[in-house]
Homo-oligomer: A and B are copies of this chain.
Amino acid sequence: MTLNRDARIGRSALLLLLSEEKEYQEDLISNTNWSFCEGKVGSMEAQKVVAAIETAAKNNHIIDKDLYREGHALYHAIIEALHGVTRGEVQLGSVLRTVGLTFAVLRGSPYENKAEGEWIAVALYGTIGAPVKGAEHETIGLGINHI
């Protein structure tokens, strides 16, 4: 059940966000049969971050919007990624902070054994801080789940 070094979906999801050029994205499109989407969300409400990611993943057909099974896999991956972003309490406005995030959702097969099937990665990158322009620092999160 070894992870395939050439198929690390978490690393790829994060590089989609950290790369400055579109090259990395085009590379993924050409060399894999993974599906992925990207987006942006800024909010003081954690539920809006969750909703933005879920909506993007459904609209871009990364998950089947009619299967709870897939929504459940995505939801837990999102919450895990938010732990990295919030580092303690999965709370934003209720502790007087806000985020400006880019996100990527990527669905692929990271294991050498085909029976391991598909997994989903949710990567978040951006800033977190006070609701005051510039009073913020970088933040990152990654959630991985079987789907």
Chain A residues within CB distance 8 Å of chain B: 1-3, 8-11, 14-15, 18, 45-47, 50-51, 54, 66-69, 71-73, 75-76, 79-80, 82-91, 93-97, 110-111, 113, 115-117, 119, 121, 123, 125, 127, 129-130, 132-146
Q: Which of A47, A66, A87, A88 has the most CB of B within 10 A?
A: A87
Task: Judge whether B47 and A96 touch: CB under 8 Å.
Answer: yes
- Shortest beta-carbon distance from A115 to chain B in Å: 6
Task: Judge whether B94 and A8 touch: CB under 8 Å.
Answer: no
Interchain CB contact (< 8 A) of A83 among B9, B76, B87: B87
Q: In whole angstroms, what is the CA distance A140 to B83 when docked?
A: 11
Task: Judge whether A14 and B140 touch: CB under 8 Å.
Answer: yes
Task: Judge whether A68 and B116 touch: CB under 8 Å.
Answer: yes
Chain B residue at minimum C-beta to C-beta distance from A75: B130
Query: Which residues of B sit under 8 angstroms from A127, Cβ to Cβ?
Result: 3
Task: Judge whether B45 and A138 touch: CB under 8 Å.
Answer: no
